[in-house]
Every structure is written in structure tokens, then in C-alpha cells.
Structure 1
Amino acid sequence: MYFLLNLLGVFVVMGVVFLCSPNKKAVKWRPIVSLIIVELLITWFMLGTTIGSWVINKIGSFFTWLISCANEGIGFVFPTAMANETVDFFFSALLPIIFIVTFFDILSYFGILTWIIDKGGWVISKVSRLPKLESFFSIQMMFLGNTEALAVIRDQLSVLKDNRLLTFGIMSMSSISGSILGAYLSMVPAEYVFSAIPLNCLNALILVSILNPIHVKKEEDIIYVPPKSEKKDFFSTISNSMLVGMNMVIVILAMVIGYVALTAGLNGVLGVIVHGLTIQKIFSFIFSPFAFLLGLTGHDAMYVAQLMGIKLATNEFVAMMDLKNNLDTLPPHTIAVATTFLTSFANFSTVGMIYGTYNSVLSKDKAAIIGKNVWKLLVSGIAVSLLSAMIVGLFVW
């Protein structure tokens, strides 16, 4: 019975997103079905085979190496902070952006990243039927995170129309950052974290195809290469990259502080109206029907709904810490779906981070496309997390 409820949940989530689509007639279902089949095969491969787990771990090791390189630079400037057992979000998740942006700009300078985007995007686009750049972006998000991935392709974004810029904003709600992967793994089971990462990216492709369907002409489906006249010397390029990265850190930091503070302020107002009422509890009540559709029993469904509310109103770290303290008391299915749902950046703060990134690497006018479509970003982020959790739940009981 609970398996069928879990399976029903997949169709319900897809149906809800379809109802939210402003252009239902443009939705193409054949590539969506193809992507779902690919997701089921990937989930089986990762959770059901030894080699699948080995592959994901090797990919994760590369990005862990990138972060360790970034930490060398951070540790030189802030040795005391980096020596602590618990490293603050500013040092662990934001400052590595400076090195990651620089590293991939070096790859772009020598044409390596442009070639990878072109060829890798071509392969995925054959299944997703989306343009090469959007398809490759889904791979970037697996470990780079939304802000880093957007910064890496900022030259590409600068020449896109608003409808495609919105696509990247919507997809960005479903990523995580390799810089905080270690923090996740210290709190929740690794196999579900690594399962969530590729599923989130594929589900982002699926749901953006429903929520913001676009058609790109063949002549427009190209990877932008800056003209040689705009190409600076190598050291000027990497120096500029570092400054771009630092600017992003400052903007994102302001957005995160502001949104978390606003949540606390809103909770204070709600507490005056009704004692003990918080925005987290309101979201928990709203999400409770979807928690049951994860194939959960009554008590577990309400607990996971509570985690959902915490994640959306604050962030996934707070929710994961709560889950960590209850792992010994929960059945495998509940742990699998809860962990998978929490493994993404889908919350209000992330909307601010994406807006801040657009504002810093593009312009205020380009960032306006995010501000006008906040609801689409939130719907997509929540739906991607739910869909990934439901697919993993089908394989763990």
C-alpha cells in the first residue's frame, strides 16, 4: 500500500507543476518520460550496485579536492577560523567560490570548458530535448552549486534572452555545493546524498520543461565564445575572476543574512498573534499531504513534513541536524526520503542568492527576471526535492 502511495506521489507532483505551468500546450512529454526512465535506471545503479557507488564517490572526490585547494588559500588568511572543528558557513561555503570561479575561468580561457559544455551538453540534450547549455548546466549543478555554476557560465548567460535566463534561475533552486558536501555527509547517510545529487539535476530538467517550456532554434543552440578582441591576458583574466568571486561572496552573504533575519522577524510577529506559531509550522502543515505521498506512516509523515517546513523557512542544515538526532529511531524508508528531500538548496534564502548572483555577474535588469518569477523558483525547488525523494523511496523499504 505504501509503495503504491509513493508511486502515486510521483504523478501528483508532476500534475501539480503542470497545473502551475503558464504554457501547458508547449510542454513536450516524450523527453520527460525518457528522463524519468533514465532516473529510475540511475537510482537502481547507485543504490543497487557497488560500481555505481564507486563512480559517484570518485566524482565527489574531484570536487572535494577543489574545495581542499580553496581551503588552503582561506586557511592562509584565516588560520584560526579554519582550525576549528566546526567551520562557519562563510568560510566553508562562501569563500571557496573565489577559487572555484577562478579555476573554471582558467578552463574557459584555454577553451577546455567551452568544449566540455558543447560536447557534454550535446549528449544530454539528445535525451532531454533541451538546448546544450541548459543540459550541461544540469551536470554543473551536481557539485558546483547554483552560484558557482552560474558564475562559471556568466559569459554564456550574458547573451541569452530573458526566457532562457529564467530557465537557469529555476534550475538553480535544485543544486547543492561541493563545498558543503562534507557537512551533509557528517549528518546523514552518504548513499542518499549521492543519490539525490544527480536526481535533482535531472528532475530540474524535467520540471523546468513543464514550468517554463521554451523552444530554441537550431541556429541559437550554440555555445557562446567571446571574440579574441575581448580576450585579456592570462593574469588579468584570473585576477578579474578572483574579484568577481569576491563580489559574489559579499552579495550572497548579504542575501543569506537578510532572508534568515526576515524569517526570524516574521516568526516574532506570528508568535504575537498566535503563541508558538512560526512560518516553519505553517509550511509543515501545508506540506503534510505530500509527506504522506512519500509512502510514510502517520507519525513519520508529520515528522518529515516538519523537516520540510524547517528547510524552506531556514535552510537544510537546521533540518539535517534534527534528522541526525533521530536517525536511530526512524525506519530505512523514512531516512531515505527525508535525506533525499533535504539534499538541495531549495528555500527562500536560495532565491536571494540566485537574484544576487544575477545582479553581480549580469545586471539589475537581468536580475529582474528572477524577482518577477519567485513563485516559479520556489515551486520548482520544492517539486524537484519531492520528486527525487519519491524516486529514491521506491527502492528503499
Structure 2
Amino acid sequence: MRYVISILGIFVVLFLAWLASSNRKEIKLKPVITMIVIQLILSVFLLNTEYGLIIIKGIATVFSVLLEYANEGVSFVFGGMANKGEAPFFLNVLLPIVFISVLIGILQHLRILPFLMKGIGWLLSKVNGMGRLESYNAVASLMVGQSEVFITLKKQLDLLSTQRLYTLCASAMSTVSMSIVGAYMTMLEPKYIVTALVLNLFGGFIIASIINPYEIKPNEDLLEIQQQEKQSFFEMLGEYILDGFKVAIIVGAMLIGFIALMAGFNHVFELLFNISFQRLLGYLFAPIAFIMGIPSSEAVSAGGIMATKLVTNEFVAMMDLSGGNHHFSDRTLGILSVFLVSFANFSSIGIITGAVKSLNEKQGNAVARFGLKLLYGATLVSILSGIIVSLIL
């Protein structure tokens, strides 16, 4: 029965995307079906095969070693600030982002990352029925981040139609940057994080091709990647170290604000209505949790975590999932973990709009106008990824 509900859930997600479509006549079913099949195959491979588990263990080991290196630097600067046995979130989870950011900078400087992004993007374009620009952007968003990716395409921004701009922004919101994956791995199981990264990559194209279908002429698919001004190696190191630290500080500040706000809302709602704000959101999101394959007995609690991610950010929701007293089944934990790995929340609308506007004001205003539709599509991507995993677990 649970598989029937999950399969029905896929059709519900596709229908919800179809309702918001800007041009239903242009929707092409073949790429959509192909990419859903690819999602299922990749999920089975990563979660249910020996080779998939070897790959995930390898990736988890790499990040574990990187986090150990990062903690050497954190301990040198901040050692002694925490009591023995304590593990402050800012020191252990957020500050290692600085080191991961440096590694990304080195790979960029050595031209390894741009080569990988263009190569994988070219392969994706053969499957998704979209342009090379859109495919490159999806991979680049995953590797360098939802704000930084637009810098590599700043020459193209003014030439893009609103439809193509939507797809680029949708990819940036549906994926997460590699610099922050290490932080996720301290809270969730690595196998679900890796699976979510892959599923969201294809899911972003599936939903965008339904909500925002369009044709690209051969002469309109020129992929010109803006190279940043050549820096010396140590200039680059300094820039990426500071960028990583800014990300850690910004995420930390947002967590302070959002967690405090959620606590305040919960207290006020309990006083007025004898129910917490998060529990109320849980009831609203319970039907979505149910079509994702989560049992009805766990749907309300799961819905509360899903809603928390949408109105705050994924870190707040991940902390709730990993540290809360929810008693979820392993299957529900897997589905929720995959759902949480994306930037689909209200704050991302402002981040992406600001990033584009800093490079091109006209296009930044266009992003602001379709911001809610962007969030709607990215949330459907997360729901679809959760449903795909529910068929495998």
C-alpha cells in the first residue's frame, strides 16, 4: 500500500507543477519520464547496492577527514572556549565551512572545477532536453553555491529571457553548495545527503520543464562562462577563506534569529491556542508528508519539520530532526533527510534575488517578481526527491 501512495504522490507533484505551468502546450513528457526513471535507478544504486554504499562511504570518509583538518584550525583559534565534552554548533558545524570553501577555491584556481562543471553539464543536456547553459548552471550551483554561480554567467544575464532566468534560479534554489555539505553530514546520514544531491539535480529539471517549458534555438544555446580576473594563489586563498567565514557567520546569525523566532511563536501559540506554532504547521503539512510515503502516525510531526525548513531554513529543520524527541522510523528519517537537503525556503528568494540584482538590476527585479513561484517549484523538487526515496527504502 505504501508504494501505491508514493506512486500516487509522484502524480500529485507533477499535477501541482502542471497547475503552475506558464505554457502547458510546450511540456514534453519524454524528458520528464526519462529523468524520473534515472532518479529511481540512481536511488536504487546509491541506497541498495554494494557499489553505491562503497561510493557513499568513500564520500563520507573524505568529508570526515576534511572536517578533522578543519577542526585543527578551529581548535587553534577557539580552543578552550567550550567546556570539556561540549560540542558548540558554531565551532563544530559552521566554522569547518571555511576550510571546505578554501578547497573549492583551489579547485577553481587550478581549473579543475570549471572543467568538471562543463563536462557534467554537457552530459546532462543530452538527457534533460534543455540547453547547455541550464545544465552547466545546475552543476555549477551544486559545486560553487547559489549566489556565486551567477558571477560565472554575468555576461549572459542581460541576454536571457525570463523563462531561462527562472530555470537558472530554480536550479540554484533546488540544490545545495558543496561547501555546506560537510556541515549537513554532522547532522544527517551521509547516504541520504549524497542521494538528495543527485536527485535534486534531476528533480530541478523535471519540475522546471513542467512549470516553465520553452524551446531553445541552436543559435541561442551558446555557453559563455565568465572567467574571473586572474588572481595569485594567495589572493585566491584569502578571498575564499573570507567567503567561507562570511557564510558561517551569516548562517549562524540566521539560526539565532529563526530559532528564537520559532521559540517565541511556539510559546505565544501555546498560550493562546494550547498548541505550538510548529505543531499547527505540522497539521497543515501532514497531507504532503503522507503522499511522500510517511505513515499517518508520523505525518504531523514530519510535517512540522518540513514546514520549519520552508519558513526558516534547512539547518533549523535538520537540528530539529537530529536532536528532537520524535521517534521516527528509519524509513521516515530517510525520506525527511532527503527532503531537507535543499535551499528551498523563503530566505533563499532574497539571497538569489540579491545575487542577480548585484550583477544586473533589471534581471534581479525579474527574479523578485517570480520569487514565490520559484520557491513553489523548488519545494516540489524536494517533495519529489523524498517520494523517489520512499519507493526504495
Structure 2 length-normalised TM: 0.81
Task: Give the superposition deviation at 1:52.
Answer: 1.0
> Is contact 1:174-1:201 (8 Å) kept?
yes
Task: Give the superposition deviation at 1:263.
Answer: 5.0
Q: Are 2:300 and 1:302 aligned?
A: yes
Structure 1 length-normalised TM: 0.80
Match of 2:385 in 1: 388
- Residue type at the aligned position of 1:220: E
Match of 1:288 in 2: 286
Task: Give the superposition deviation at 1:265.
Answer: 9.8
Task: Give the superposition deviation at 1:301.
Answer: 1.8
Task: Give the superposition deviation at 1:175.
Answer: 2.3
Match of 2:153 in 1: 156
Query: 1:150-176 CA distances to partner (integer Å, 9 max, x unpaired)?
Result: 415512244222533332222222223
The DSSP-based 3-state class of the residue aligned with 1:394 is helix
Match of 2:254 in 1: 256
- Residue type at the aligned position of 2:299: A
Q: For residues 67-82 of structure 1, what are the structure 2 equivalents within 5 Å?
A: 78-79=78-79
Q: Are 2:137 and 1:131 aligned?
A: no
Unaligned runs of 5+ in 1: none
> Is contact 2:154-2:226 (8 Å) kept?
no
Q: For residues 367-386 of structure 1, what are the structure 2 equivalents within 5 Å?
A: 367-386=364-383
Residues 1:110 and 1:171: Cα distance change in structure 2 (over 3 Å)? same
Match of 2:340 in 1: 342
CA distance in 2, matches of 1:215, 1:240: 42
Query: 1:342-391 CA distances to partner (integer Å, 9 max, x unpaired)?
Result: 2333222333333343355x255443333222212221222111111111
Q: For residues 1-397 of structure 1, what are the structure 2 equivalents within 5 Å?
A: 1-61=1-61, 78-79=78-79, 85-89=86-90, 92-93=93-94, 96=97, 100=101, 104=104, 107-108=107-108, 111-142=111-142, 144=143, 146-147=145-146, 150-152=147-149, 154-160=151-157, 161=160, 163=162, 164-226=164-226, 231-234=229-232, 238=236, 241-242=239-240, 245=243, 249=247, 252=250, 256=254, 260=258, 264=262, 267=265, 271=269, 274-276=272-274, 280-324=278-322, 329-359=327-357, 362-396=359-393
- Residue type at the aligned position of 1:392: V
Residues 1:214 and 1:197: Cα distance change in structure 2 (over 3 Å)? same
Task: Give the superposition deviation at 1:94.
Answer: 7.1
- Residue type at the aligned position of 1:331: S
The DSSP-based 3-state class of the residue aligned with 1:21 is coil
Residues 1:237 and 1:374: Cα distance change in structure 2 (over 3 Å)? same
Residues 1:381 and 1:113: Cα distance change in structure 2 (over 3 Å)? same
> Is contact 1:162-1:369 (8 Å) kept?
no
Q: Which moved more, 1:187-196 or 1:11-20?
A: 187-196
CA distance in 1, matches of 2:237, 2:118: 26
> Is contact 1:39-1:199 (8 Å) kept?
yes
The DSSP-based 3-state class of the residue aligned with 2:215 is coil
Unaligned runs of 5+ in 2: none
- Residue type at the aligned position of 2:337: T
Residues 1:97 and 1:175: Cα distance change in structure 2 (over 3 Å)? farther
Q: Percent identity?
A: 30
- Residue type at the aligned position of 1:395: I
> Is contact 2:170-2:377 (8 Å) kept?
yes
- Residue type at the aligned position of 1:324: S
Task: Give the superposition deviation at 1:226.
Answer: 4.5
Residues 1:117 and 1:345: Cα distance change in structure 2 (over 3 Å)? closer
- Residue type at the aligned position of 1:309: A
- Residue type at the aligned position of 1:191: K
Task: Give the superposition deviation at 1:245.
Answer: 2.6
Task: Give the superposition deviation at 1:125.
Answer: 0.7
Residues 1:257 and 1:49: Cα distance change in structure 2 (over 3 Å)? closer
Tell me the matched-pair count. 389
CA distance in 1, matches of 2:288, 2:256: 29
> Is contact 1:98-1:245 (8 Å) kept?
no
